[in-house]
Amino acid sequence: MGMVTSTILRVRFKKEKRGLVVYSRVLSANLLGLECEKVWAEVCVENGLSNFSIVGLANQAIKESKDRVRAAIENCGFEFPDTRITVNLTTAWLKKEGSHFDLAIAIGILLSSGMMVPENSIEDVAFLGELTLDGKIEKVNGLLPMIIGLRRLGVRRYVIPQSNLAEAGLVKDIEVLPASHLNDIISYIGGDSDAEFVRPVNSTGSIKPCYTEDFADIRGQELIKRAALIAAAGFHGMLIIGPPGVGKSMVGKRIPGILPELTYEQQLEVTQVYSIAGKLSAEHPIITERPFRSPHRGATQVAMIGGGKPIAPGEVTLAHQGVLFLDELAEFPSSVIESLRQPMEDGKVSIVRADGRCEFPAKFMVVAAMNPCKCGYFGDPEKKCSCTQSDRVRYLNRVSGPLLDRIDLHISAQRPSYTDMEPAEGNRIIDSASMRAKVIKAIEIQKERYKGSGIDSNSSLNAGQIQSYCVIDSEGKNLLSEAFTSWHLSARAYHKVIKLSRTIADLDESSEIKKEHVLEALSYRLPEKYFAR
């Protein structure tokens, strides 16, 4: 503990200079949603009655920072100055949230009170970290978006908690000093340690995505597998209606595994979200797998969309670039379900609060499952449904037409027969790997086609783009017009069918949409008897 003693000596020496007003400032950051602002922790230590105040619209977590900082400094062997200490977090009018200001405030006090004399300049270094009472530096939520935001503002050097190191490794062109204790930083600033700012080890690709569940586990249900393949290839929403126990959730869980790997940009986006939500663990410091979120039907609107105080991302954002699985769609409160419409349309959610507004990305693939009626056996050839007509209507009406319209692919599942469960020798079973290969091929075709148009999948096509990108041959057109008139399709349903046929054609590697593609797309439409409105 030689280092600590020497620091204390310096403190005694400095104490003699009391009477001066000493000012210092240390860089940190504030997050609102994914938006990051520079925040300076200004610290002023002056003569006067013992007082310690933090100003600058700090929230409760920052107010409590006082006590953590005092204890941490004392536990590092210093005597906490018994004078008037003012901490101001600039810009003062901006509301601030988070415990990561601890580190900047502590360093500011150590500098201003003269307990520490900087040998190494820290003017351009951002300090992000939470302190424990014994001076340890704890992991911070939202570190990745903070670093990304500050880097954009020109900051290149960061002091970060050791446990956040892998996250920082995703950002290019920065240097970090990972620390696990306040003393490490004190000795670096005081010039008493060999620690250096280093380029963090690039963590991109360090963790291979691993999906444990495979489509090969699902026996029979080839039609649903096919539907899942199409949905994944065009990032289309999917609704599975069927009696209990047909494997609806099994299908949903396996969809992330057939989507292509996240690109670097996508990993960055997803990891940022998980960073803010505090969902990065030591085993999963960065997110490389497609998220699979399966909120319970008791989820509130805030849990689904995001919000709260501090504003946290909701399930739709946590499912960004992945799958949002809604089991028992009809059991969700209708207000929660309806709130999904905006993110499904825009690929992001805007949360507006008195404190400000923020936006989170929310480009997810919705996979919903529901029973055809309350007892679940309507339309089942073997088991009798015990619901009355009005029961069924009430049950189905919980899901609104506009929401159903936004889900491109509808399919009904039937209970598999015994022969499906025990497949004969030599029967081909489609597995995730082969499905994924097809999906990747189809997605590449889409990327090529939509280059420079601002969209990347068939599901995001708007009416105008459908006109220019979806060329249907004359046979297909005739068929479509016939289906349109004989089944009374709505304009939105018409667009859905075209988008789906586009994806089916892409899976077929056909540049033109042909009759058979339209025919198949038309089959992913629920019979009117389910939703007779």
Q: Enumerate binding residues for other proteins (CB under 8 A).
A: 220-223, 225-226, 241-242, 372, 379, 381, 412-414, 416-417, 419-420, 479, 482-483, 486, 504, 516, 519-520, 522-524, 526-527, 529-530
Give CA–CA dist 310/34, Å, rounded: 12
CB-count exposure of residue 89 (10 Å: 0-12, 13-18, 19+):
buried
Kindly give the residue spans of alpha helices, DSSP state H, lying in 156-298.
165-168, 182-189, 222-234, 248-254, 264-276
Toward other proteins, which CB reaches closer, 417 or 490?
A: 417
CA-closest candidate to residue 506, choices 458, 468, 472: 458
Query: What three-state secondary structure class fits 176?
Result: strand
Instruction: Tell me whether residue 148 or residue 497 sits nearer to other proteins (CB atom).
Output: 497
Q: Interior CA angle at 428 toward 424 and 430, to 5°?
A: 130
Nearer to other proteins, 195 or 489 (CB): 489
Determine the 3-state secondary structure of 483 from DSSP.
helix
Q: Which is nearer to other proteins, 193 or 414 (CB)?
A: 414
Nearer to other proteins, 6 or 427 (CB): 427
Q: How far is the CB of 448 from other proteins (least distance, A)?
A: 23
279 vs 267: CA distance, rounded Å = 14
DSSP bridge partners of 88:
42, 55
Name the burial class of residue 118, with classes exposed (0-12), middle (13-18) and buried (19+) by CB atoms within 10 angstroms of its CB: middle
DSSP 18: B
CA dihedral 256, 259, 260, 265 (to 10 degrees): -60
Minimal distance in Å, beta carbon 435 to other proteins?
A: 12
3-state DSSP call for residue 415?
Answer: coil
Name the minimum Å distance from CB 274 to other proteins. 36
Judged by beta carbon, residue 8 or residue 519, the one nearer other proteins is 519
DSSP-derived secondary structure for 418-448: HHHHSPPTT-----HHHHHHHHHHHHHHHHH
Q: Least distance to other proteins from the beta carbon of 100, Å?
A: 52
Tell me how far the alpha carbon of residue 491 is from its chain's centroid: 33
Asked whether 126 and 28 are in contact (CB, 8 A), the reply is yes
Least distance from C-beta 405 to other proteins, angstroms? 18
Report in angstroms how near the CB of residue 380 gets to other proteins at its nearest: 8
C-alpha 499, offset from chain centre: 26
DSSP state of 514: -
Smallest separation, CB 225 to other proteins (Å): 8
Residue 209's identity, in one-letter code, is P
CB of 241 to other proteins, least distance (A): 7
CA distances in angstroms from 230 to 83, 238, 259, 290, 401, listed in the order given: 68, 9, 11, 17, 22
Nearest approach, Cβ of 33 to other proteins (angstroms)?
42
**Residue 125: enclosing H or E segment and its boundaries?**
strand 125-127
In angstroms, what is the minimal distance from the CB of 207 to other proteins? 35
Kindly give the interhelix angle for 101-112 and 65-75, rounded to the nearest 10 degrees.
60
Judged by CB, which is closer to other proteins: 338, or 380? Answer: 380
Pick 195 or 519: Cβ nearer other proteins: 519
Which token pair is 247?
């494997």
The two structure tokens encoding residue 129 = 């970290």
Distance CA 249, CA 389 (A): 27
CB of 420 to other proteins, least distance (A): 7
- Nearest distance from residue 502's CB to other proteins, in Å? 14
Using the minimum distance from each CB to other proteins, give the nearer residue, 450 or 530: 530
Q: Which two tokens stand for residue 42?
A: 């200004």
